[in-house]
Amino acid sequence: MRTARAQRSVLGVLGALILALAAVFAAGPAQAVSPSSGAAADQALLIAPPAPSDAQAGASLAAASPGISPAVNTQHVPAGGSFSCGDGNFCAAVWDPTTSDWKIFFLFACQRYSVSNWLGDGAYYNQQTGNATASIYGQSGNLLVSAPADGGIIHDIDWDAVWSIRNC
């Protein structure tokens, strides 16, 4: 009888462990805290640019959504809509032709990010701390823009030539 109890206890512990692991894997890879979940005092409220002049009213079937690797938190914002760029983030606004709105990328972890389908006019905001300077690079690794942290001042940019960003 004692053996049956021990077996049930072991099975119960294993079941709880399996459920906990399933919850971890279902949540996906760890990300930096979402800029929209921080304290209001640590965020700059920004206004997305107007839609690009060449943006079509409907999404094209051949269009591709802008992407980034490694993955970061993103948010879709309508033209002229507001969003927050939390302290410690380099935020980039890229027009998403598949949704006809701005896709905001929140680059938080210090690393080099490769971008894809970042086309046309957009904007960036360097809300990083500690005087971090972001570097924006072209196809051959050439430095296109050196962007020092400046409290979230909006900077216009043409994303066509951009291939990667190192946010610190």
83-116 per-position pLDDT tens digit: 999 999 999 999 999 999 999 999 999 999 999 9
Mean pLDDT of the 56-75 span? 82
Tokens of 78: 């309508």
Closest CA to 53 of 156, 163, 130: 156
User: By three-state DSSP, how is residue 64 classified?
Assistant: coil
pLDDT of residue 59 exceeding 80: no
Identify any residues that bridge with 137 across adjacent strands, giving them in sequence order.
143, 164
**Is the bond preceding residue 70 a cis peptide, omega within 30 degrees?**
yes
25 φ/ψ sector (left φ>0, alpha ψ -120 to 50, else beta): alpha
Identify the pLDDT of residue 152. 64
Tokens of 20: 């906990």
pLDDT of residue 75 exceeding 80: yes
Q: Enter the pTM of the model.
A: 0.71
Mean pLDDT of the 21-30 span? 34
Q: What is the DSSP annotation of 100-165?
A: TEEEEEEE-SSSEEEEES--SEEEEEEE-STT-EEEEE-TTS-EEEEEE--SS--EEEEGGG--EE
Tokens of 137: 């690079």
User: By three-state DSSP, how is residue 48 classified?
Assistant: coil
d(CA 123, CA 154): 7
Higher pLDDT, 115 or 57: 115
Instruction: Find out whether 113 and 68 touch, Cβ atoms under 8 Å.
Output: yes
